[in-house]
Structure 1
Amino acid sequence: MFGLDDRPNRLCDGLSRREWLRVGGLSVLGLGLDDLLRAGTGSGAGSVRAAASPLARGLDGATFGRAKNVIYLWLQGGPPQHETFDPKPDAPLEIRGPFQPIATNIPGIHFSELLPRTARRADRLAVVRSIATDDPNHDVSGYWVLTGYPYGPGSARQIKPSDWPYFGSIVKMLRPSEELPALSTVWIPDLMRLNDSVTPAGQTAGFLGRAWEPERFVGDPAAPDYRIEGLDLPTDLPRLRVDRRRALLGQLDGHLKVVERSGVLDGWDRNAKDAYDLVSSGKARAAFDLSREPDAVRDRYGRYSWGQTVLLARRLIEAGVRLVHVNWTREPGDSAVDNPMWDTHAQNADRLQDVLCPQFDVTFTALLDDLESRGLLDETLVVAIGEFGRTPKINSQGGRDHWGNVFSFVMAGAGISGGQVFGASDRDGALPASDPIRPHDLTATIFHLLGIDHLGTFPDKLGRPQPITRGEPIAAILGDGPATADRCEPGGDVAFVPPFDDSLLLDTDFSSGRPPIAVAPPTREKGWRGWPLNSEAEDHGLVVRVLGGERRGALLGLAPGGTIPAGSRAMLAQEIRSARGGEYTFSVSAAMLSGDQGEPEADLLALLSCRLVLFRFADASKDPRSIQELASLSFRPEPGAPRPVTLQRFLGSTQGNVNFPIGQGLGVAIILENSSGAPINLGHDSGLGPAGLLVSEVSLSFRARPRNENTL
């Protein structure tokens, strides 16, 4: 649903958040969009048209203006170069990380094994490994990438009317859509946010004024009730009545010559027509209607926010939108943690393998394949980039921190010569080793491919000429076809990076029959971990195992042996996938299983304690025996049918922008322990049947703290 906020917060230039995001409201047409389209005109910018310069033609005359449209994939947070497009297999483990490089379908080019699908399509990609901003701040580095101009001095955490325009605003001015001029540049599905209260500079039209803002549509396209308000005619305003109002406006226009000469209504005719055509044609409304897509296509892109937003981007460029900016948005509950989006300060490997790369690899390749099958890839430029990269050395939390000294991005489609790498970083992925470029070279390349002279100028609101960019197009990656005809068998295994699954836990009903994973030695294998297992049970008097048949479930029970030492425990634990700050509800269906000897075993079990636990791992080994307990619930199981037991706890701060450290990860555990302070004598050495705490089913749900949307 297109979420709106009626509170009158205002931007630095006086435009309220509601006005910025809303399509609808009062106007003489009863449509409202016209007010937004004409806001801030009078700069004269709308009359500017760029022409190709000799230098641009000299770079590659065949590629100037090759792109009809652009899909710009903004990987907010900063993807790590080491685990994506610039692996470093010869670096030490603390630099190269736990993942291996794999061959792509182009000889000599390797990607991370986290991108097996993308590696099979390297012939369509130009990979740039030597871009740098030299700044480690999201706001400042992102500003340079999104505008093509460095910010400074100071912080870019707040939007100012003097900001340099987002490059999409210049595209809207100089290369508006012929088919949908009102939607020349579209930004979906949310604003760029650093946290609840910070929406950084670089995403607005800046000093150009409101007329050149990208049209922002906030809402999750994966939501069942997703729709865009304001693209329909008001239900109480018949089409005939709208047409009559438009005719009346035409008559009124003839009486406004004096007012027009004042400049107040500059651009009014064009914007009024754009607003009318947008709403009356229904073309935009149809483009936003994802229900028109076959289920197989929606499944191929992925039924999550990123996947459906990228699919929506393809529909929008088909409808005639010139540039669609797809923002990798924050997940519910991630506005105050240490690894939101691609900002993997903690758990870099887990976040990449479980959440980020499964979404990117599946959706990015779905987009490339879909565009090609529809004949759109040759006219559509696709760019995937973040604001910077990440540190060469992995930190103590298993994460990588901000790094603007060198990072990578990829381009594909119109005018891009695929199957090549431009530039290189050094052995550690720390600095450019060859062909260094700056963000303005990327924007110059985009302008060139769209047919905008990168040496040209555009007028600011006072009519003064401003240079479009100070960069140069990256000529080496431009061309009419792949850079090489050579191909090879790509490596990697798509099963290693399966399509994204948003489940918080795996194997919650134990139907797989898979035995628990040993807690030592350390492993990145996912699923239930148990301790002690059969080989370890003798010294502890307790054991963890999985049962099949009628008693299907996990059993934390008595082991053959003499005693259960004081403090001995059996535990079944699993790491929470994509953990966030918020309210967790951890439930198990549990019963006491008395085993073959009945009452004697029941008496022994009555001496043991049972608990549910929410915890944080203490170190990188992720050994559940070494944890920080965050919440705990004691319970006593009953014999007979399993009964539900529930632990509910809010983890983190209820206030915005207060960091909740995920650290090495969060997890859940079921514990059976001797907390009596004395050994428990089992009274026999053998003959125990399956007796103990039987867990037949587990569930974990999450509810995020509501985000403060009123941040503009």
Structure 2
Amino acid sequence: MNGDARFTRRRVLELSALGIGLNVLPRATAATPTVTVVPKRTIRSCILVFFYGGPSHLETFDPKPNAPAEVRGEYRTIATAVPGVRVGEHLPRMARVLDRVALVRGVHHPMRNHNSAAAETLTGRTPAGGDQELLSDDPRGIPTLGSAVSFALETRANSLPYVALPYTIYNVVQLPGQTPGLLGGAFDRFQVTGDPNAPDFRIAAFENTTELGDRAALLRGLDRSALPGPVAQAAISRDRAVRLLANPEVRRLFDIHKEPHRVRDRYGRHLLGQSLLLARRLVEGGVNFVTAFDGQYNGQDVNWDSHEKLFSRHRQLIPPADQALSALIEDLGVRGLLDSTLVLALGEFGRTPKINGSAGRDHWPDCYTALLAGGGVMGGAVFGSSDKIGAYPATDPVTSADLAATVFWRFGIDAATEVRDQTARPFRLSEGDPVRAVFGS
């Protein structure tokens, strides 16, 4: 192509046929960050475990055994490795590792519907569209945490900075909070779609590298100076993706079949267990951020949204989570990865203090519990508290923005850094304050 080449509609179609997406937004830019106190030891990776649907905090990490029956529910409580701290009876494995965990018991936000609450939790910001049940992703909106981290790390980012697994979450529409938003496609996740527990689990993208390589070679032959910015950026991103997919070291990270049987058994031979094992493999290989989703579909029978028959449903859901999450924490510790990896586990909200007429609990974002492990966390810490029935924070309330700021802080990223999108509109990475009290340094 020569310098006089026109970017015609026909040329758009030709380039699209080569696999160049034209919806890649121009890269956002970061203003000079303010001076902030960073941890003495920053983390290399974060694993976000997201329990979609809203687990009950009253049946898990904030039980109320002395509350009236219509609040305390059917479950007993059990002692943990931390004196004086008790959890629900179906968490025996997590009870044993709670001395490596910090519980944040006063998390709250204003979003009462799944989609808006997920957007709040996964981005650390209240969505501009407000509390809508079917709020969808805004392609120019606030980025998901993993994308924001990979952007802000800049040259410190791994060649594969952000992976999400084992599926994209939908609630009629794609659940908001999973995309890079205004940061553009260059900071999107590498999405794993498939069950790592399946005998034939594989990453389909790794099987088409010959065809992709041919396309990339053709793209490299084009005069990119003659292409508009978004298309040129797309070509660069595609070229980088081809090199990444052809890298045998990257392929090996996803080869979960190499794991010993005893390790796979410890995590649990189920979707969540093998997803968290795959997450461990990824951070061990240097991936900066992994989001592991639990609960793919809408409906209380297939996720944590237990408006009816909560106690029988949570008896099915809690044990796999107990097994997988405790295995992840133990395994990271054994491999010397716990100090450099922060684990954050939570849902988009908790459940109502009072049991409803269908033996369930409804949505409750006014107070619930998040779990932190690794990354410098002081094991056994309990930050904040809820009132006598688990309805509202009694001490030290924490917002979604505070949790997001905590993640940025542990990476050594200034949450006050202003990012400007393609229209020069500024926004801070987070408006919250890190929960510093549960970290040793």
Establish whether TM, by shorter chain, passes 0.5: yes
Q: Please say if residues 106 and 367 of structure 2, whose CA atoms lie closer than 8 Å, have aligned partners that are also in contact.
A: yes
2:411 aligned with 1:411: no
Equivalent of 1:275 in 229, 233, 241: 241
For residue 213 of structure 1, report the CA deviation from its aligned partner.
2.1
2:326 aligned with 1:326: no
Structure 2 Cα separation of the partners of residues 311 and 26 of structure 1: 37
2:48 aligned with 1:56: no
For residue 397 of structure 1, report the CA deviation from its aligned partner.
1.8
For residue 426 of structure 1, report the CA deviation from its aligned partner.
0.2
Aligned counterpart, 2:176: 201
Partner SS for 2:105: strand
Structure ID, larger Rg: 1
Structure 1 Cα separation of the partners of residues 64 and 131 of structure 2: 34
Q: 1:289 to 1:50 in 2, by over 3 A?
A: farther
For residue 316 of structure 1, report the CA deviation from its aligned partner.
1.4
Aligned counterpart, 1:184: 161
Q: Give, as a single letter, the amino acid of the residue that structure 2 aligns with 1:56.
A: V
For residue 339 of structure 1, report the CA deviation from its aligned partner.
4.1
Partner SS for 1:56: coil
Q: Please say if residues 82 and 380 of structure 2, whose CA atoms lie closer than 8 Å, have aligned partners that are also in contact.
A: yes
Structure 1 Cα separation of the partners of residues 176 and 109 of structure 2: 16
Partner SS for 2:65: coil
2:111 aligned with 1:149: no
Q: Which moved more, 1:168-177 or 1:184-193?
A: 168-177
Runs of 4+ in 1 over 3 A off after TM superposition: 48-51, 53-57, 176-180, 232-237, 242-246, 264-270, 337-340
Q: 1:245 to 1:192 in 2, by over 3 A?
A: closer
For residue 272 of structure 1, report the CA deviation from its aligned partner.
4.6
For residue 122 of structure 1, report the CA deviation from its aligned partner.
1.2
Structure 2 Cα separation of the partners of residues 364 and 278 of structure 1: 29
Q: Please say if residues 209 and 246 of structure 2, whose CA atoms lie closer than 8 Å, have aligned partners that are also in contact.
A: no
Q: 1:148 to 1:459 in 2, by over 3 A?
A: same
Partner SS for 1:230: helix
Q: Please say if residues 163 and 201 of structure 1, whose CA atoms lie closer than 8 Å, have aligned partners that are also in contact.
A: no
For residue 236 of structure 1, report the CA deviation from its aligned partner.
7.2
For residue 167 of structure 1, report the CA deviation from its aligned partner.
1.7
- Greater strand fraction, Structure 1 or Structure 2: 1
Aligned counterpart, 1:89: 65
**What does 1:545-564 align with in structure 2 at a 5 Å threshold?**
none
Q: 1:157 to 1:176 in 2, by over 3 A?
A: same
Equivalent of 1:427 in 360, 382, 388: 388
2:202 aligned with 1:227: yes
Q: Give, as a single letter, the amino acid of the residue that structure 1 aligns with 2:142.
A: W
2:111 aligned with 1:127: no
Query: Deviation string for 1:527-582 (max 9, x for gaps)?
Result: xxxxxxxxxxxxxxxxxxxxxxxxxxxxxxxxxxxxxxxxxxxxxxxxxxxxxxxx
**What does 1:460-539 align with in structure 2 at a 5 Å threshold?**
460-480=421-441
Structure 2: runs of 5+ lacking an equivalent: 1-15
2:179 aligned with 1:218: no
Equivalent of 2:303 in 307, 331, 341: 341
2:77 aligned with 1:101: yes
Q: What TM-score do the two structures reach when normalised by structure 1?
A: 0.56
Q: Please say if residues 134 and 406 of structure 1, whose CA atoms lie closer than 8 Å, have aligned partners that are also in contact.
A: no
Aligned counterpart, 2:412: 451
Q: Give, as a single letter, the amino acid of the residue that structure 1 aligns with 2:78.
A: I
2:319 aligned with 1:358: yes
Aligned counterpart, 1:163: 141
Q: 1:78 to 1:476 in 2, by over 3 A?
A: same
Partner SS for 1:307: helix
Q: 1:71 to 1:26 in 2, by over 3 A?
A: farther
Structure 1 Cα separation of the partners of residues 215 and 71 of structure 2: 68
For residue 117 of structure 1, report the CA deviation from its aligned partner.
0.9
Q: Please say if residues 63 and 77 of structure 2, whose CA atoms lie closer than 8 Å, have aligned partners that are also in contact.
A: yes
For residue 233 of structure 1, report the CA deviation from its aligned partner.
5.0
Equivalent of 2:27 in 43, 49, 53: 43
Q: Please say if residues 115 and 361 of structure 1, whose CA atoms lie closer than 8 Å, have aligned partners that are also in contact.
A: yes
Q: 1:83 to 1:358 in 2, by over 3 A?
A: same
Q: Give, as a single letter, the amino acid of the residue that structure 2 aligns with 1:290.
A: I
Q: Please say if residues 124 and 430 of structure 2, whose CA atoms lie closer than 8 Å, have aligned partners that are also in contact.
A: yes
Aligned counterpart, 1:440: 401
Q: Please say if residues 36 and 414 of structure 2, whose CA atoms lie closer than 8 Å, have aligned partners that are also in contact.
A: no
Q: 1:213 to 1:220 in 2, by over 3 A?
A: same
Q: What TM-score do the two structures reach when normalised by structure 2?
A: 0.89
Q: Give, as a single letter, the amino acid of the residue that structure 1 aligns with 2:308.
A: A
Partner SS for 1:121: helix
Q: Please say if residues 186 and 215 of structure 1, whose CA atoms lie closer than 8 Å, have aligned partners that are also in contact.
A: yes
Query: Deviation string for 1:342-381 (max 9, x for gaps)?
Result: 111112111222x111101111111111111111111111
For residue 442 of structure 1, report the CA deviation from its aligned partner.
0.2
Q: Give, as a single letter, the amino acid of the residue that structure 2 aligns with 1:68.
A: R
Equivalent of 1:174 in 107, 132, 152: 152
Structure 2 Cα separation of the partners of residues 200 and 93 of structure 1: 35
Query: Deviation string for 1:659-687 (max 9, x for gaps)?
Result: xxxxxxxxxxxxxxxxxxxxxxxxxxxxx
Report how many aligned residue pairs link the two structures.
424
Q: 1:74 to 1:50 in 2, by over 3 A?
A: farther
For residue 453 of structure 1, report the CA deviation from its aligned partner.
0.3
Aligned counterpart, 1:288: 254
**What does 1:619-634 align with in structure 2 at a 5 Å threshold?**
none
Q: Give, as a single letter, the amino acid of the residue that structure 2 aligns with 1:132.
A: H
Matched-pair identity in %: 38
Aligned counterpart, 1:399: 360
Structure 2 Cα separation of the partners of residues 136 and 279 of structure 1: 40
**What does 1:512-661 align with in structure 2 at a 5 Å threshold?**
none
Q: 1:373 to 1:173 in 2, by over 3 A?
A: same
Partner SS for 1:131: strand
For residue 180 of structure 1, report the CA deviation from its aligned partner.
4.6
Q: Please say if residues 50 and 452 of structure 1, whose CA atoms lie closer than 8 Å, have aligned partners that are also in contact.
A: no
Partner SS for 2:382: strand
Partner SS for 1:365: helix
Partner SS for 1:378: coil
Q: Whose relative contact order is higher, 1 or 2, with alpha carbons under 8 Å and at least 6 apart?
A: 2
Structure 1 Cα separation of the partners of residues 175 and 216 of structure 2: 40
For residue 42 of structure 1, report the CA deviation from its aligned partner.
2.5
For residue 186 of structure 1, report the CA deviation from its aligned partner.
1.2
Aligned counterpart, 1:672: none
Structure 1 Cα separation of the partners of residues 168 and 155 of structure 2: 22
Partner SS for 1:274: helix
Q: Please, what is the CA RMSD of the aligned residues? A: 2.6
For residue 49 of structure 1, report the CA deviation from its aligned partner.
8.2
Aligned counterpart, 2:54: 78
- Greater helix fraction, Structure 1 or Structure 2: 2
Q: Please say if residues 49 and 174 of structure 1, whose CA atoms lie closer than 8 Å, have aligned partners that are also in contact.
A: no
Q: 1:408 to 1:67 in 2, by over 3 A?
A: same
Aligned counterpart, 1:566: none
Structure 2 Cα separation of the partners of residues 366 and 465 of structure 1: 41
Structure 1: runs of 5+ lacking an equivalent: 1-24, 481-712
Q: Please say if residues 176 and 184 of structure 1, whose CA atoms lie closer than 8 Å, have aligned partners that are also in contact.
A: no
For residue 273 of structure 1, report the CA deviation from its aligned partner.
4.7
Q: 1:244 to 1:206 in 2, by over 3 A?
A: closer
